[in-house]
Structure 1
Amino acid sequence: MTTEQATVEARNWLAATAAPGRQWLLLAAACQALDTAFTVVQWAGLAWVARDVLDGSRPSLPGSGLLLGGGLLSAGAAWSTTRFQAAGRRRIAEAVRRRLVRGLLPRGRRQVDPDPATAAIATVESTDDIADFHAQALPQRMSAPVSMALILATTAMVQWPAAVILLLASLLIPLNLRLAGLFAKEGADVRMAASTRLAAVVLDSFRGMPTLRNLGALARRRTELAGAADDLNATTLAVVRRASLSGSVMEVVITFSIAANATYVGLALLGYVHVGVGMTLFRGLLVLLICPMYFQPMRAMAAAFHSGERALSAVPAVSGLMVEPSAAAESVPPSAESVTVALDNVRVHFPAAEKPTLQEVNLTIGPGTWTAVAGPSGAGKTTLLSLIAGVRPPTRGTVQWSTSSGTSSPRLGGCAWIGQQTVLLPGSVGDNITVGRPDASPTEILQAVAAAGLGDVIARLPQGLDTPLGEGGAGLSTGEARRIAIARAFLSEAGLWVLDEPTAHLDPDTEAQLIVALRNATRGRTVVVATHSVALARSADVLFAIDDGTVQQAREAART
């Protein structure tokens, strides 16, 4: 695909994202046009009142009425424009973020997980760039011709030579808008790259902080972070300079036009120029008041060029993350039946990897059994679990779930997943337990608490299940947080549990207690657990080992 074709596709994609908020933005455009009309009425009233005052008489009632009424109506139209723009912007941003979330969450198509920095920039900053552009550009694009035609027609009726000056000046504006667009595009691309780099450095720093500290590499990482921040500052200032330069060119044209009209009005009032209809004080004041309004839509459209190029630079990152799920990959409620899992000739080969992560994997996991998967870090344990859970499709081969109801491919949401880290959301303990089933009854919640061995923990909390947790789960230990994860999984009533290092980083006593809680909570369910823990491996019914991409049954293990 050529660069020109890619740009056209990006512009078409960007235009399509405006659909959710288009109705509100069209209302904003109508209000902007009304604002212009009411402002013209207001300035006519002001010119009328000013003429009366300069003539030494009292302001007339019609002039005062036009000034007051036009001002109130203009303020109302401007307020409505802002509200409609905000509503349209919000709906566009929400629609884009919903599609992004569907693309970022595992849906069965994606072979490689998205880069966290790119995903963060796309979700937070790039989405706002797209919504801001539409909220700014679409109303301006619809209302600008109407507003400018209205002002030009009014000026022509009052004093047609002034309208000719405005028309001649406006012929230079499109060239300036194109210049603004070229400057904005170059700067927006560079700034997007700098933002992504800074986000990547920050995310990597937080994820690897313990390792960096142990290696004594904090000073080096601090230097990299400062360098990335300086690059972003430099590119941002460059964008500002380009915008100022292109804006200055436009201001020169606008200032010249207004000055030419002011000169014409002054000379006509002094009697040195006799072009057009006879110049009066009212006509001259009205022309001087409404001429600057003629260029206001052009200023707004020039600003929209800059926001448009920022939005266009964001399109590849945002659209690339929007992987639409297939029907088979959609999330479904879990089944309470115990599941048999069968992998047949499964192979997983990531595009950037030299060799397959998993190859020729053939195994069957019986219903209601505990199966442990052991192996060194990076051997493919988590990849195997993601295949079983339906998070990722195999490059080749099949993965099947079987129950008494029949056989199917893994379905997202059809099993319970517990990982190394338990995400605790701001809210109460009860809210965190029922995050997957907010409609769970008090009896079901208490059953989940008992199954996870959380009874003693809840009893010591000041407000029991209603005890609030801070962001990140302040007030609970790692083991207690894992028990909340077990209670969540128990509430899901899933017949298949997939556990990724559920006892990692726990002391032996806490680990032993957690294993007991897991065994109690999963009675009659099929459990697949990846672990480095000898104690957890010994508690399994079957143990598989991963080595060099192959999976072999290590032993039949007796339950402890």
Structure 2
Amino acid sequence: MAHPAQMSSPNNSTTTQPTSVRKIPLDDARDRTFQFMSFLLVLLKTLALSFICVVIGHSLGDFFSSTRVPASFPWIPLFCWTVIAAGAEGLRLNLEHISARLSQWRYQDRLLAHVFRRGPAQLAKERRGALISLLSQGTTRIAEYRQTYLGHAIGGIFSPVVVLIVMACYADPVTAAWLCVTVPVLPLLLGSFSHVTRKVSTRSRQARARLSARYLDALRGLENLTITGAAPRVSQELAELGEANRREIMRVLAANQLILFIIDAGFYLAFISTSTALALWRVGRGELDVGDGLAICLLSILLLAPMSEIGGFFYVGMAGRAQQRAFRGFLGTSIPPGTTSSSPYPDQVMRHGSSHCVGEKDAPELQITDLRFRYPSASLPVLDQVNITFERGKFYGIAGRSGSGKTTLLRLLSGVLTPEHGTLKINGHPCGCVDLREASAVVNQFTWLFSGTIRENLLLAHPAATEEEMWVALKKARLDHEVQLFPQGLDTRIGEGGAGLSGGQAQRLSFARALLSGRRLLILDEPTAHIDRVSEGFLLEGLRNLGSDYTIIMSTHRENSFHYVDSLIDISELGVKK
């Protein structure tokens, strides 16, 4: 059972946020390359569209000036610039899609790596629903913002420079100079709208995060909610959170539409009217021909490209920036001492045999020296000045009254908890929490099996395992004959939590999965507490038959289990009784 200090509270924040979120870099060299390419492709498309406007403007000018269709229309230049514009846009969209997908995978890898480094005890402080939301929707929003929006938006802000250069070279430098005065207003508007709508967007994100976290938490505890009769209350709470989320979304949409209406009705109209009036005035005075005037009118439309990014900022930009803060906030949380590892994924370290504490095929020796542990909410330590040596290849039983610290000791030995004081050594090497997790396979009193086949549940411990290895693990767990009697054998489907299997079969399947992991330190917390005597005998006999290939540490209340162990340690007395 989890200690009260480890239980998550409904009032917890979405993720643990440090007081000040340090600036954690999000992009690597590949991301920056994709962003720069997107930026360049936007400018290339703008250049092509600018020349299309010039070609069309001059051609129409020739038509109006001569009052007859020109002998030759510049179809080839128009076609070439159109192909360039379409190609640049298509290539940009494709690159952004690929980059966003790769970036999302990398963001998820970084989050999972930090999850492994923090360990189960630290993660108990987080709301599982909020963390899952950050790993899924959150990383999607960040990837969309940084890879599909950021480079495009920066390119859109700089695109008026390209348009003005083309206008100055191929239409009228005087008009281009006048328009240069108004162009800087566009980035300023983007910044001001970001500041004005930040609070509205933040409230919407927080409401959406609360709903997502509470919904996922309710799904995880659906069975318990139904049994305890709390389902209607939680359903009503979810309905209220959903309504609050809807209202906040409507506020964001209302602010967005109001600002876009002001821009469309005011700024667009004023800007285009000013540039058109300036072009007509210059044409009327004979300072420009009709073709140049028409080209200026068409080019002025391209100068409004940055304004189109304002709408995208509401839906992509603000959501992405908000998720960035949550992402950096989670990665900025502290890691307990002794939990660092050379690999972000402990399972990968063990499968490749790169742990410096224990070999892949050896039963380890585990030594505890001056161990002390106290829960944050407790005044007295649960364990103090504990000194135990678990010899390699031995089967140890941990006994003691309820609350004496049996589960706490096993959590320390498996790397779930971090000791307040003392050292733990495997084969003489001091080891931290990650090293202990790399070396140990744990079977708890409440078995967790996933909905799927027996084969899929076994492969969770070792995805590359062969069918022969799976049958060997089942045989050691004394479950092979029963699985062979199932019509589909290893492909027999079971429900979540082992539905479809007896309690003893589910526990032995969990034991077989631990053996299949290849780890030689087995830690079992009351594995026979909720199974019948026959299944208990099968499980204990299977443990006994493992011989010296494994170091086994098992806590138990049942006295008949003591007959199977090599040494029995009373946690209350911390002395070897057998």
Same fold (TM over 0.5): yes
Q: Give the aligned partner of residue 296 of structure 1.
A: 305
Q: CA deviation at 1:191?
A: 3.5
8 Å Cα contact 2:474/2:480 also seen in 1:
yes
Distance 1:86 1:470, change over 3 A: farther
The whole-number CA distance in structure 2 between the counterparts of 1:188 and 1:522 is 62
Q: Give the aligned partner of residue 102 of structure 1.
A: 113
Q: CA deviation at 1:104?
A: 0.6
* Deviation readout 1:470-506 (Å, 9 max, x if unpaired): 8877765554444333333223343310123434544
2:431 aligns with one of 406, 409, 434: 409
Q: Give the aligned partner of residue 123 of structure 1.
A: 135
The whole-number CA distance in structure 2 between the counterparts of 1:337 and 1:48 is 83
Structure 1: gaps (5+ residues): 1-5
Distance 1:449 1:315, change over 3 A: closer
8 Å Cα contact 1:112/1:350 also seen in 2:
no
Distance 1:171 1:401, change over 3 A: closer
The whole-number CA distance in structure 1 between the counterparts of 2:33 and 2:555 is 51
Q: Give the aligned partner of residue 455 of structure 1.
A: 480
1:31 aligns with one of 28, 37, 41: 41
The whole-number CA distance in structure 1 between the counterparts of 2:18 and 2:213 is 26
8 Å Cα contact 1:448/1:487 also seen in 2:
yes
The whole-number CA distance in structure 2 between the counterparts of 1:7 and 1:50 is 62
Distance 1:142 1:434, change over 3 A: same
Percent identical among aligned pairs is 25
Give the superposed CA RMSD: 3.8
8 Å Cα contact 1:48/1:63 also seen in 2:
no
Q: Give the aligned partner of residue 3 of structure 1.
A: none
**Corresponding letter in the other structure for 2:219:** F
Q: Give the aligned partner of residue 133 of structure 1.
A: 145
The whole-number CA distance in structure 2 between the counterparts of 1:88 and 1:57 is 51
Q: CA deviation at 1:462?
A: 4.3
Q: Give the aligned partner of residue 527 of structure 2.
A: 502
Question: Does the residue aligned with 1:394 lie in a helix, a strand or coil?
Answer: coil
Identify which range, 202-211 or 116-125, moves more after superposition: 202-211
Q: Give the aligned partner of residue 241 of structure 1.
A: 254
Counterparts of residues 353-364 of structure 1 (less than 5 Å): 353=378, 355-364=380-389
Q: CA deviation at 1:258?
A: 1.3
8 Å Cα contact 1:177/1:302 also seen in 2:
no
The whole-number CA distance in structure 1 between the counterparts of 2:209 and 2:412 is 30
8 Å Cα contact 1:499/1:528 also seen in 2:
yes
The whole-number CA distance in structure 1 between the counterparts of 2:74 and 2:172 is 20
The whole-number CA distance in structure 1 between the counterparts of 2:54 and 2:481 is 78
**Corresponding letter in the other structure for 1:421:** T
Distance 1:42 1:327, change over 3 A: same
Counterparts of residues 18-167 of structure 1 (less than 5 Å): 18-47=28-57, 50=60, 57=68, 62-106=73-117, 111=122, 113-115=124-126, 116-140=128-152, 143-144=155-156, 146-157=158-169, 158-160=171-173, 162-164=175-177, 166-167=179-180
Q: Give the aligned partner of residue 552 of structure 1.
A: 573
Question: Does the residue aligned with 1:13 lie in a helix, a strand or coil?
Answer: coil
8 Å Cα contact 1:243/1:306 also seen in 2:
no
8 Å Cα contact 1:24/1:87 also seen in 2:
no
The whole-number CA distance in structure 1 between the counterparts of 2:43 and 2:377 is 54
Counterparts of residues 396-545 of structure 1 (less than 5 Å): 396-402=421-427, 406-409=428-431, 411=435, 412-419=437-444, 420-424=446-450, 429-465=454-490, 479-503=504-528, 505-521=530-546, 524-531=549-556, 536=561, 539-544=564-569
Give me the TM-score of the superposition, normalised by structure 1.
Answer: 0.81
Q: CA deviation at 1:532?
A: 5.5
Q: Give the aligned partner of residue 272 of structure 2.
A: 258
- In the comparison of the two structures, how many residue pairs are matched? 538
Distance 1:302 1:73, change over 3 A: same
Distance 1:177 1:469, change over 3 A: same
1:220 aligns with one of 225, 228, 233: 233
Q: Give the aligned partner of residue 5 of structure 2.
A: none
- 1:178 equivalent to 2:191? Answer yes
**Corresponding letter in the other structure for 1:34:** L
**Corresponding letter in the other structure for 2:252:** V
8 Å Cα contact 2:200/2:248 also seen in 1:
yes
The whole-number CA distance in structure 2 between the counterparts of 1:380 and 1:50 is 89
Q: CA deviation at 1:337?
A: 2.7
Distance 1:263 1:194, change over 3 A: same
8 Å Cα contact 2:205/2:319 also seen in 1:
no
Question: Does the residue aligned with 1:448 lie in a helix, a strand or coil?
Answer: helix
The whole-number CA distance in structure 2 between the counterparts of 1:377 and 1:240 is 56
8 Å Cα contact 2:51/2:166 also seen in 1:
no
Question: Does the residue aligned with 1:260 lie in a helix, a strand or coil?
Answer: helix
